[in-house]
């Protein structure tokens, strides 16, 4: 770091490279939110990374060759990225209390980015009705 402000996108690109060995020419990043936890004096960002040069099959094959921090990725579960499927997955009884605090918000914002708030909120209402 050169003493200037942190480059949030560069930090994310470094994370993609270190954690998944995916080069920055293989995905696009979009900033969804900047968040602050004043009680903890912490801040963070929520970014959406969309693979541009790799299909799901390519991504699975890439991961099967191993990554440096493989212990962090014991299992990856693939969920159709559409509102009802994603929200049902997030709210499954065996999952809903195990997410990091930012995960549900990140998934919601990513869905809204792709489908719009009305469609996502309608899907959330439907999923919550089904769960009650």
pLDDT at 29: 94
**Long-range contacts for 1-9 (Cβ within 8 Å, ≥24 apart)?**
8/45, 8/47, 9/47
Mean pLDDT of 89-98: 93
pLDDT at 32: 96
- Do 24 and 49 form a contact (C-beta atoms < 8 A)? no
Minimal CA–CA distance to 20: which of 58, 61, 56, 69? 69
Q: Give pLDDT tens digits for 24-42.
A: 899 999 999 998 888 888 8
**More confidently predicted of 41 and 66:** 41
**More confidently predicted of 20 and 108:** 108
pLDDT at 124: 98
- Read off the pTM: 0.82
Mean pLDDT of 80-108: 93
**More confidently predicted of 71 and 28:** 28
At residue 66, does pLDDT exceed 80? no
Q: Give pLDDT tens digits for 111-131.
A: 999 999 999 999 999 999 999
Where would I find the H helices in the chain?
8-20, 56-64, 83-90, 103-115, 117-131
In the chain, where are the structural domains located? 1-67, 75-132
Mean pLDDT score across all residues of the chain:
88
């Amino acid at each position: 770091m050169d003493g200037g402000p942190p480059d949030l996108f560069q930090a994310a690109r470094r994370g993609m490279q270190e954690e998944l060995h995916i080069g920055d020419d293989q995905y696009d990043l979009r900033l969804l939110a900047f968040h602050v936890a004043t009680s903890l004096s912490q801040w963070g960002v929520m970014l959406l990374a969309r693979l541009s040069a790799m299909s799901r099959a390519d991504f699975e094959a890439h991961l099967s060759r191993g990554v440096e921090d493989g212990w962090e990725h014991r299992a990856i579960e693939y969920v159709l990225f559409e509102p009802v499927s994603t929200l049902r997955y997030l709210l499954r009884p065996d999952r809903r209390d195990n997410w990091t605090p930012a995960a549900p918000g990140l998934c919601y914002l990513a869905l809204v980015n792709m489908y719009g708030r009305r469609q996502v909120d309608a899907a959330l209402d439907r999923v919550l009705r089904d769960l009650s």
